[in-house]
Each structure stands twice: as structure tokens, then as C-alpha cells.
Structure 1
Amino acid sequence: MRNLKRLIFFVIVLLIALVTVVFTLENQQSVSLVFFGWAAPQISVAVPMILSLLVGMMIGPMLAFIGRLRKKPKSARAA
């Protein structure tokens, strides 16, 4: 069972990597982003999309952790 879970996890990671590579290869158009007056150099449209995906993947678990901390009773937090 444990090996099956590892195999499924490995397959999912490979699929995500494959989708990311295909997305990057299909989106080679150059764009220049402007954010609050700051202009980024022209880069492939895939770069900001993948960066925003990675930032979201980091923020999501942090918010879930904070939400779990708030739901715990005060007596459990003090211990």
C-alpha cells in the first residue's frame, strides 16, 4: 500500500511537470508587465504565470495552517 501511494505521488508529480513544460513551450510570446509603475523587462508569458502558480502554492498551505490554528480550542493552544 505504501509503495502504491509513492507510485501515485510520483506519477502526479511527473504529470504536473509535463503540463508545466508543455505550457511553457506553448506560451513563448513576450510580454512586459507593469505593476504600480514598475515595468518588468519583456519575458515569456509563461514565466509570470508559473511564478504566480508557485506563489499560490506557497500561500495556500500557509493560510490553511493559520485557519487550523484559529479553529483549535484555547485550552489546546495553551498546552
Structure 2
Amino acid sequence: MRGVKRVVSVLAVLVAALVVLAFVLENQQGVVLLFLGWSTAQMPVAVFVVVGLIVGMLIGPLLGVFVRGRRVRTAPRE
């Protein structure tokens, strides 16, 4: 059973890597982002999307830990 789970896991990671590779190869046109007066250098669209994905993957769990920790502290004491 472990062998089947390992094969399925490897295939899932491989498919995800191929999807990301296809996305990066399809989105090579350069863009400049402007936000609140800040401007970025011209880079491919995929760079901004992947950076946004990575930032979200880092911030999401941190917010979850913060909210969970805050709930534990504010729980009523008996």
C-alpha cells in the first residue's frame, strides 16, 4: 500500500510541475506593475504570479497560526 501511495504522490508532484512549467512557458510577455506609485521592472507575467503564489503560501499559514494562537489566549478561563 505504501508503494501505491508513493507512486501516486510522485505522479501528482510531476503533474503539478508540468502544469507550472506550461504556465511559465505560455506567459512570457513582459509587463510592468504599478501600485501606489511603486513601479517594477519589466518582467514576464509568470514571475509576478509565481511570486504572488509563494508569498501567499508563506503568509497564509502564518495568519492561521496567529488567529489560532489568539483564539486560545482569549478563551474564557474556568
- Compared with structure 1, are the counterparts of its residues 4 and 68 closer, same or farther at alpha carbon in structure 2 (3 Å cutoff)? farther
Q: SS of 1:41's equivalent?
A: coil
Of residues 11-20 and 1-10 in structure 1, the stretch that sits farther from structure 2 once superposed is 1-10
Give distance in 2, aligned partners of 1:29 and 1:73: 48
Residue in 2 aligned with 1:58? 58
Give distance in 1, aligned partners of 2:14 and 2:69: 32
Give distance in 2, aligned partners of 1:2 and 1:67: 35
Which whole-Å deviations, capped at 9, do the CAs of 1:3-46 have from their partners, x for residues lacking one? 44444333332222211111000111110111221211111111
Structure 2 gaps of 5+ residues are: none
- Compared with structure 1, are the counterparts of its residues 40 and 3 closer, same or farther at alpha carbon in structure 2 (3 Å cutoff)? same
TM-score by length of 2: 0.73
Q: SS of 2:61's equivalent?
A: helix
Over the matched positions of the two proteins, sequence identity in percent amounts to: 45
Q: Superposed, which structure 2 residues align to 1:34-45 within 5 Å?
A: 34-45=34-45
Residue in 2 aligned with 1:12? 12
Give distance in 1, aligned partners of 2:27 and 2:9: 27
Residue in 2 aligned with 1:24? 24
Of residues 42-51 and 28-37 in structure 1, the stretch that sits farther from structure 2 once superposed is 28-37
TM-score by length of 1: 0.73
